[in-house]
Structure 1
Amino acid sequence: MPESKRALIIKIGAIGDAIMALPLARELKRKGFTVTWVAGTEITPVLGLVPEIDEIIRVNQHSLFGNIFSAAFEIVRTWFKLLRTWPDEIFVLHGDYRYSFLVPIWFPRSRLSFVRAKTRRHHTFEYARLAFLESEDNELKFDPYSLNSTQPRLPRTVCLFPGGARNALRDDPLRRWPVDSYVELTKHLIEAGFKVTISGGPSDHWIEPSFTSLKNKVEWAVGQMKLPETITFLQTQSLAVTHDTGPIHLASMAECPTVSIFGPTLAATVAPLRFQHLAVELDPKLPCQPCYDGKNYGICTNNLCLKELSPHTIFKKITAYFQTT
């Protein structure tokens, strides 16, 4: 029996970016590759749920972007972990060339493929197309990656993620719909008879004071679930609502319908590729939208692109969805 080809994927994070890259692993597996993924510590619990990934090598992203000595140590440590790997194909899924330093110097550079930076095509396509010839681009259609579940969805349940838009390397407050808007939306949902859960990661406890008056009326789950547990929980929910942040992609993995709220980023490039996903943006858009170029945002002190989307507008989108299901 011939030995399988080996593929090396370097995608450190963040959560949403890594999940959007999962179809690449699936397509490589279909082509007979053994897949090794170099990932940041934050996303490895999610990647561990993916059977198409044969080996995960963890990188401490704090060290990688610390001082020059900690970065050099982390790079060399990663090289040693890859000693047993001799890949036929290498995929660096970052536009920043510095991530290519994680590829051992003895690996042939002719086998490297880099994701394109600053395109307006969906990130999933930009990642997955690397496994195919350029001439096949127009023929490719990629389904989002999902985990099968037999759990029934609980009726009229909505999970909100008011925090997020923060990872080990940066905080992106311009992506967040205002927390006060989430509070008003929660009130609308409760009055309409929905069961509401407020969720988020350990770094999202800052939202708690805003929900003080509602905590006895909602399920409070901020900081209480790890990422795999969040996916399992979302498999039971009727709908997830958030802005451009990792949980919309966790919901996509859970095949949970979503309403996502976009402002400075372009929904067409990152929103879940599901028919049960609704991306909400200002219509018409502001002249400055979108201002995110893949690395930086425009200079902004008011964030009108998100503030102008009212809680009532989002509530109407949610009720319209439930009326059609």
Structure 2
Amino acid sequence: MDDVTGTSGETILVVGPSWVGDMVMAQGLFKTLKVRHPGCRIGVLAPAWSQPILARMKEVDEAIALDVGHGQFGWGTRRRVARSLAGRFEHAIVLPRSWKSALVPFLARIPRRVGFTGEQRLLLLTERRELDRTRLDQTVKRFVSLGLPASEARRGDFPVPTPRLEVDRHNLATLKATHALGERPAIGMMPGAEYGPAKQWPLEYFRRLAEGLVSEGYEIRVLGGPKDVAAGDAISDDLDHAHNLCGKTRLADAVDLLSDCRQVVTNDSGLMHVAAAVGTHVQAIYGSSSPLYTPPLTENASIHTLALTCSPCFKRHCPLGHTHCLQQLKPERLDQAIRLATP
């Protein structure tokens, strides 16, 4: 099937990804669907944690939580959700490549179900597309391609819309008061990377950079989840004008706080993509991953990668044990880049 020309009022279910950055990148697909299917209604089936991000995307008409833990099968939950969706959608796009991700649209008997070939999905999808990794060389391109006619998607030369998350200015003002944030220009720092330590710039480098920036008149805001609290402490402890907000804010709060930063220094992480999607200048650090595959989707970014012979390896842990791709990327380089990007 090659015709995906939309009709007014068409209902489309997108089975979303399970990572923050991927969900931000999926907005490119949502934007494409709104253009290609005028008047369509988009529902996104995704983990409950993603709802605050989806709420900041004007293209998403409905966020549907699938409360199944990572790695869990959750047969009963999937059946219940499928029953609630039966008869509501005409078209489903399945972004993840696992067979479990295609179950709910199949059980809901959505007539058209599109996705890439993957784990034993022969019967679960009505349209299975081969993934051409050469032409679809970025995650965002793969997502967008599934909203296009197959012939156009195969060419790989289609436009990719830029994500843009909405900002709640009232919530931002509340957050600044609650956490006693100052009037200095803010630099955000995101030391976490859920994928693993091979993507994480050394904490001592974040600390050295933070000390220099504070001396230059900046405020430091360290953002991340509960797992990043200790990392935030290592950067901010006993440092005036440095605030460890890790584990103290919600994902929606991070959207607003990052929009208020002059720049951010970040690993290749979900919050990197959030910062890009609110227009903040991103100083993006790449170790085991590649900026060619998952770049911040903005022109307002500076990319830092050493492109050593051993990188990118795409491993969670450095297979050589030294993480030279990050250790040899010194704080002085980031400090200079921030100066150059300052208006």
Q: TM-score, normalised by structure 1?
A: 0.85
| CA positional deviation for 1:209 | 4.2
> What residue identity is the alignment partner of 2:43?
T
Amino acid at match of 1:28: L
Q: Which stretches in structure 2 are left out of the alignment for 5+ residues?
A: 1-6, 117-128, 173-182
Query: Contact 2:221/2:245 (CA < 8 Å) preserved in 1?
Result: yes
1:35 aligns with 2:42: yes
User: Aligned partners of 2:296 and 2:198: how far apart in 1?
Assistant: 20
| CA distance, structure 2, for counterparts of residue 98 and residue 291 of structure 1 | 28
Corresponding residue for residue 100 of structure 1: 102
* Cα displacement (A) at 1:202: 2.2
Alignment counterpart, residue 79 of structure 2, candidates 72, 76, 81: 76
State yes or no: 1:129 paired with 2:145. Answer: yes
| 2:307 paired with 1:289 | no
| CA distance in structure 2 between the partners assigned to 1:146 and 1:209 by the alignment | 30
Deviation at 1:183, TM superposition (A): 0.7
User: In structure 2, which of residues 57, 60, 63 is the aligned counterpart of residue 56 of structure 1?
Assistant: 63
In structure 1, C-alpha distance between the alignment counterparts of 2:265 and 2:31, rounded to whole Å: 27
1:263 aligns with 2:279: no
2:213 to 176, 183, 189: 189
Paired AA for residue 58 in structure 1: A
Q: For residues 108 and 265 of structure 1, do their structure 2 counterparts lie closer, same or farther at Cα, with a shift above 3 Å needed?
A: same
Shift of 1:110: 5.3
Counterpart-to-counterpart distance in 2, 1:177 and 1:196: 17
* Superposition deviation, residue 185 in structure 1: 1.0
* CA distance in 1 between partners of 2:250 and 2:82 (Å): 29
Query: How many aligned residue pairs are there?
Result: 307
Secondary structure at the aligned position of 2:223 is classed as strand
Which position in structure 1 is the counterpart of 2:159?
Answer: 141
1:318 and 2:333 correspond:
no
- Displacement of 1:306: 1.2
Q: Which amino acid aligns with 2:62?
A: E
Q: Displacement of 1:109 after TM fit?
A: 7.1
Q: What TM-score do you get using the length of structure 2 for normalisation?
A: 0.81
Report the residue type matching 1:219 in the other structure.
H
Match of 1:65 in 2: 71
Q: Quick one: distance in 2 between partners of 1:44 and 1:218?
A: 29
Matched, 1:240 2:264: yes
Structure 1 residue aligned with 2:191, among 154, 162, 175?
A: 162
Q: Tell me which residue corresponds to 1:47.
A: 54
Q: Which 5+ residue runs of structure 1 have no aligned equivalent? A: none
Residue 40 of structure 2 is aligned to residue 11 of structure 1: no
Tell me by how many angstroms 1:155 deviates: 7.0
User: What is the alpha-carbon root mean square deviation over aligned residues?
Assistant: 2.6
Asked if 1:199 corresponds to 2:199, the answer is no
Deviation at 1:160, TM superposition (A): 0.7
**1:104 Cα deviation from its structure 2 partner:** 2.8
User: Between the two proteins, what is the percent identity of the paired residues?
Assistant: 20
Q: 1:6 is matched by which residue type in structure 2?
A: T
Q: For residues 152-174 of structure 1, what are the alpha-carbon distances to aligned partners after superposition, in whole Å with 9 as ceiling and x for unaligned? A: 9x7742111112x22xxxx5222
Give 1:65's aligned amino acid. Answer: G
Give the deviation of 1:300 after TM superposition: 4.4
